[in-house]
Amino acid sequence: MSRFDDAFKNKPIFMPYFPLGYPDLETSLDVLEALATHGADLIEVGLSFSDPLADGPIIQKATQKALEGGITVAKALAGITELRRRGVTIPLVLMGYFNPMLAYGLEKFVHDAGEAGVDGFIIPDLPPEESAEFALIAQTLPQITMLAPTTPDERMEMIARGAKGFIYLVSVTGVTGARTGLPEGLAELVERVRKHTSVPVCVGFGIGTPEQAQAVGAVADGVIVGSACVRTIGESATPVETARQFARSFKAALR
């Protein structure tokens, strides 16, 4: 857990999301390296899947392009290995859906992910009630807990009690995607979660600008930026330079 501990020494942290293989594998590696070296404290690395149920149209389009370009679980893990070879030391959390992991073979997947340098997993379609087998196999590589505004207190206590790494707090109901404003009652929601856990609470879904990130960072331990990151970099003619600027702007807002 040392990479997580190091990442959260200076809170709030900036956590962008970007999928491996978008718009192609080599560009995505350069983008992820640029994010890591110009402001990201932790990166949510996307593992593409054909049915991304929690994602909005921007991320769906990006992951579909990655799949059309030939990205696979094996190539994604090789990409993580390459990022570590390039000197990326911040935590890399693999965000993906359970089906590709299951198809790859859970034990082999967890082993290969650990060897590649993955620090943990975010699996939106694997609820706590069904995650015991994965947790037993993963052991020291945590499955990051996800909570939502609609989570009842009793369930929140049950889920948060065993949380490791950090908690991914979904700020709004619905799919991913930048919003024009932040939800009301976010500070109260974060405090509600903190009553049940001692691990950092990071907020994602709907954060699209440095100003919004700054507002979220005032109440949370970390800010997760997905759709805005993918859209801004994906639409750029110079994606790597845009990634550098994007990371710097959000990092500056949080400091």
Q: How far is CA 96 from CA 102, 144, 181, 186, 227, in A?
A: 11, 12, 27, 26, 15
Length of the chain equals 255
Residue 218: both structure tokens together: 């005032």
CA dist., res. 14 & res. 200, Å (int):
13
Secondary structure element (H or E) that encloses residue 44, with its range? strand 43-46
Residue type, 118: V
Distances in whole angstroms, Cα of residue 227 to Cα of each of 52, 159, 195: 13, 26, 29
Q: What six digits make up the tokens of 137?
A: 């196999």
Let me know if 44 is a catalytic residue. yes
Q: Which is catalytic among the residues 55, 82, 112, 221?
A: 55
Q: Which of 5, 30, 41, 44 is catalytic?
A: 44
Nearest to 40 by CA among 75, 7, 73, 71: 7
- Please indicate whether residue 5 is annotated as part of the active site: no
- Sheet of 43-46, strand order: 120-122, 92-95, 43-46, 13-19, 222-225, 201-204, 167-170, 145-147
Burial category of 85 from C-beta neighbours within 10 Å (exposed 0-12, middle 13-18, buried 19 and up): exposed
DSSP string spanning 203-235? Answer: EESS--SHHHHHHHHTTSSEEEE-HHHHHHHHT
Q: Which residues are catalytic?
A: 44, 55
